[in-house]
Every structure is written in C-alpha cells, then in structure tokens.
Structure 1
Amino acid sequence: MRRILFPLILGLGGIAILLNLGFWQLRRLEWKESILATIAARIDAPPEQLPPEGADGQALKYTPVRVAGRTTGQELHMLTGRQGVGPGFEVIAAFETADGRRILLDRGFIPETAKDMPRPPVDLDVTGNIHWPDETTASTPAPDIGRNIWFARDVPAMAAALETEPLMVAARSVDGAGQGVVPVPISVEGIRNDHLNYAITWFSLAGVWAGMTGYLLWRIRRRTI
C-alpha cells in the first residue's frame, strides 16, 4: 500500500489541478461570450452623431455613428488580405465632415491591383463605427512611407500623417461613389475567443494524466504480486 500511496496522491492531485484549469477556462468562456454579446449589441445600435472634437476615440470604440462629408484624395494603405480575394489594402482616408472637421475614414478593402488607381475627392454619407484597432505590437514593422504601405492601423500615427483628428470611423455602409473600395464592417468575429479550446486541452490532459496514473498503479501492483 505504501508503494502506491505517493503515485496515487500525485495522480489525483494532477487530475484535480488539470480539471480545475479546465473549469476555469469554461468560466472564462462564459465571461468572454458576455463581453462579445455586449460589443455586438453596441456595434449594431442605431447610429449617433459624431462625438465632439477632442473626444476619446479609444473610449468610444464600437460606437455607431453616421457622418456626411467628403474625402480629400489623401489616403493611407494598410497591407491586408481577404479570404477568396487575396492580398490587398485597407484604405484609410482623410475625410472632411460637413461641419469642417477632418477625421480618419476606414473606407474598406481594395485588391492589390487597385492600390495606385486614382480615387479623387468624393462626397460620401457614411454609416459606421468608431474604431481604435489594437493591432500595433513591438514586432509590427514601421510603415513604408515611400510606398505608402502600413502594417497596422495606428490611429495616432495615421492621424498625424494625414493631419486629422485622432478619430477613426470604420465604414459599414456608404452612400456615394465607392470607387472600388468595399467596406469591411466591424464585427465580433475578429475578436479572439479561444477559451473553449483551452478548456478542451486541459480536460484532455486530465484524461491523459488519469490514464498514466492508472497504468503506473497497475504496474506497481503487478510487481507486488
């Protein structure tokens, strides 16, 4: 009995720890799904007026807005891609509102071949969401200014480059000449939620640990017979 006591305690302790981690991830999954539901409801709410100048765009992330105005012809291109289409760019344009403000407008996607096509100033009525993408990390390359290629939507840096307010609106629908730019609406689909996969991993490890413990105890018993 003494020979199996320590492996038994070790096995049961490991199983308990792994199961606890799995249940913790399930609780995290419930928490994350609640947050995603709140974000989805905020994204799809009726559009509001553009917040006043100086408002915190990061705090207002996902707020639906409707804004009318005109593009200036100035735009930045963020390298990206779309499934079934291939590589391309997200078009971030300087946008002058009807009351004279300059903001960033994420007009949407263009294929790689359309990068250098002319997109002169055009009047647009945009329904979308205020956005503050969290895409820039320590490993994000600096933008290639000469070729006008960016690798993340960095609101402060892009606002400085286009001399606009640090406020970005991501278009959901656009009335006016699209000029080949396809809106890419904000959705919760791009927000990572891997907690279920993590839970399955911990529960699977608990099963493996239980199997290994059972096999070890079986081996010990056989030696004592």
Structure 2
Amino acid sequence: MLLALAGALAFVGFVALGNWQLERLEWKRGLIERVESRVGSPAEEAPQRARWAAVNRQDDEYRHVAVAGEFLSELDTLVVAATELGSGYWVVTPLRRVDGDVVLINRGYIPQGVEPVPPPKGEVRISGLLRITEPGGSVLRDNDPMAGRWYSRDVAAIAAARGIEAAPYFIDAAANQAGSPGGAGPVGGLTVLRFHNNHLVYALTWYGLALMVVAAGVLVWRESRKVKKRGEPREPRGR
C-alpha cells in the first residue's frame, strides 16, 4: 500500500513538473517575441521620473530608447564583463538629462588593462536598450562598493557610491554612439539577446519519468500477482 502511494505521488509530481515546464515554454516564447519586437522598434524617449516606479522587467526590458543630456565623465564605474570580445569591463557612466535627472549609461566594453576613452563634452543623444538593474552582484561574487569592485550593474548601489540619484534602470548604448566609439574605447551594442529555451526538453523528461513510474507500477503489480498465485494452495486432482 505504501509503495503504491509513493508511486502515485511521484507520478503526480512528475506530471505537475512537466506541466510547469510547458507553461515556462509559453512564457519564454512570449518573451522572445516581445524582445524581438522591442529591439526592432524606433527608439522612444527613456522613461522619465514620473514613470520610474512603474518600470519593470515584463513591460520595459530591452525596449529601444533614447535619452539626451551631458555625461558626468568623472564618475565612470567599471563593471566586470564577459563578452563575445573577451573578458574585461563594462564602462558605466551617468548622464544628466536635459530635465536634470540622471540615467546610467553602459557605454560598452573595454578589455582588461585599457583605460576607457572619456565621453564627449556637451549635450549628446544616446540610443540603446533599456535594462533592468542587477542588484547584489553576480552569481559568484557580491559587489564591493568600498573597494570599487563591481560584478553587476546594480543601479542603486552604483548611484549611491557616486553620490547621485539615478533612474532605476540603465541603458546599454548601441554601437557607434557618442561615448561608445568602438575600437580601443568602449564598444557598444553588445547586449546579449540569446535566450536559452530548453523547456520542451525538460517537459518531455518529466513526462517520461511519469511514464516510467507507471511502467514500474505495472511490473510490480504483475510480479505480485505471480507471487500470489504461486502461494495459493493447489486443489487436489480428482481420480
């Protein structure tokens, strides 16, 4: 009885996990479609202060945006990066908008040992992809603001370390923008837009395990029937 109950619970659990992966599959497909449509759309004005509280990953991440203002070049922050060009740093620089608010701009990638080219003086207009803050650090390391070691683009922490108030998002500058000249300077346009989508494989795996539980249950039931029959007394044959 206990074995049957355990098998039933395992079957239900595996089916539930398979169903969950199918739900994740639909979510991931929707995400990919949204991102593709956002990236290819004309740039719209980056969210202003009145909308800051409403900015979220579901509705805004990877939106193609633009912002005008002046770079605060003396407040660069280098964040450890691993890109298709190799290991190095993201150069994150605050930009003071025309209305006075500040947005952090990821000007792009530089290799280790290379000093970032200063951004241009005066008003510029930057286009790129809106990104949601990355609080805390990376999977392996926490940010250390006191030591100036940054492993993620944690907007609030970087702004606090620089003594400024900034929008709760940052912008990945597109290639060849002001302040992102490429070459030896920061290389923009390196936002990773590839999304792992293995949910169908995971779903089939969970459903396969559920079928294995059923098959194992059938085998156990058959063996128990055979044992029971062998243990039954035989009726005497008539003469």
TM-score (norm 2): 0.71
Q: Which residue in 2 is equivalent to 1:26? A: 22
Q: Which residue in 2 is equivalent to 1:42? A: 38
Cα separation, 1, equivalents of 2:201 and 2:218: 26
Residue identity opposite 1:175 in structure 2? Q
Q: Which residue in 2 is equivalent to 1:76? A: 77
What are structure 2's unaligned runs of at least 5 residues? 231-239
Structure 1 segment 76-115 matched on structure 2, within 5 A? 76-83=77-84, 85-97=85-97, 101-114=101-114
Tell whether the 8 Å contact from 1:72 to 1:95 is kept in structure 2 after alignment.
yes
Aligned with 2:211 (options 199, 207, 212): 207
Residue identity opposite 2:21 in structure 1? Q
Tell whether the 8 Å contact from 1:88 to 1:112 is kept in structure 2 after alignment.
yes
Shift in alpha-carbon separation, 1:13–1:61, aligned structure 2, 3 A: closer
Structure 1 segment 1-225 matched on structure 2, within 5 A? 11=7, 14-56=10-52, 58-59=55-56, 60-73=60-73, 74-83=75-84, 85-97=85-97, 101-114=101-114, 117-122=115-120, 125-136=125-136, 141-146=142-147, 148-162=148-162, 163-166=164-167, 167-176=169-178, 177-178=181-182, 179-186=184-191, 188-189=193-194, 193=197, 195-223=199-227, 224-225=229-230
Tell whether the 8 Å contact from 2:71 to 2:120 is kept in structure 1 after alignment.
yes
Shift in alpha-carbon separation, 1:30–1:182, aligned structure 2, 3 A: same
User: Could you tell me how far 1:121 is from its partner in structure 2?
Assistant: 3.3
Residue identity opposite 1:120 in structure 2? P
State the Cα RMSD in Å.
3.3
User: Could you tell me how far 1:33 is from its partner in structure 2?
Assistant: 1.8
TM-score (norm 1): 0.75
Residue identity opposite 1:168 in structure 2? F
Cα separation, 2, equivalents of 1:9 and 1:52: 57
Cα separation, 2, equivalents of 1:72 and 1:182: 18
Q: Can you list the C-alpha shifts for 1:39-96, whole angstroms capped at 9, x where unaligned? A: 432333210123334530734543322234443332111112125x442112111224
More displaced stretch, 95-104 vs 207-216:
95-104
Shift in alpha-carbon separation, 1:54–1:184, aligned structure 2, 3 A: same
Shift in alpha-carbon separation, 1:118–1:18, aligned structure 2, 3 A: closer
User: Could you tell me how far 1:170 is from its partner in structure 2?
Assistant: 1.5
Higher RCO (Cα < 8 Å, 6 or more apart): 1
Cα separation, 2, equivalents of 1:86 and 1:119: 18
The share of aligned pairs that are identical, in percent, is: 26
Q: Secondary structure at the match of 2:103?
A: strand
Cα separation, 1, equivalents of 2:194 and 2:69: 29
Question: Between Structure 1 and Structure 2, whose CA radius of gyration is higher?
Answer: 2
